[in-house]
Amino acid sequence: MSISSINTAILEDCCTYLVVLCLHLLKINLERHSAPFRYLRLPGRVVEELEDICRSEGVDPGIHAHMSEDRVQEYLDKKQQQESKLAQFNKQSKLFMKK
């Protein structure tokens, strides 16, 4: 296992930990105020901040339950564009290698 993959795994664990910690703190706050909620939806601002933290550390948060439909579509479109560019690059590389 390379150092890069170990660092990525550690960062993914840290991002997961941050999300769990936020959820735990929100749960404690709700219990303290005796709120009768059984389901917690993170505000969009908080979700975006957590995603930005993950991205700044090189971890792609991917698709998750707290994304809006628009953000999911943006993510899928971006992923498709990346795959198209990679396929085009691979095609050009093969042509270059034949010369």
Q: How far apart are CA 9 and CA 30, in angstroms?
A: 32
Domain ranges of the chain: 1-67, 68-99
Q: Assign 57 to helix, strand or coil.
A: coil
Mind listing the pLDDT tens digit for each residue in 72-85? 999 899 989 999 98
**CB-CB neighbours of 23 under 10 Å:** 12
Q: Look over the chain and give the mean of its residue pLDDT values, rounded to a whole number.
A: 76
Q: Whole-model pTM?
A: 0.48
DSSP 33-55: TT---S-----HHHHHHHHHHHH
Q: How far apart are CA 50 and CA 67, in angstroms?
A: 12
DSSP state of 63: S
pLDDT tens digit at each of 99 positions of the chain = 555 666 666 667 767 777 777 666 666 665 555 555 556 677 888 888 888 888 888 888 888 888 888 989 998 999 899 999 888 888 887 777 766
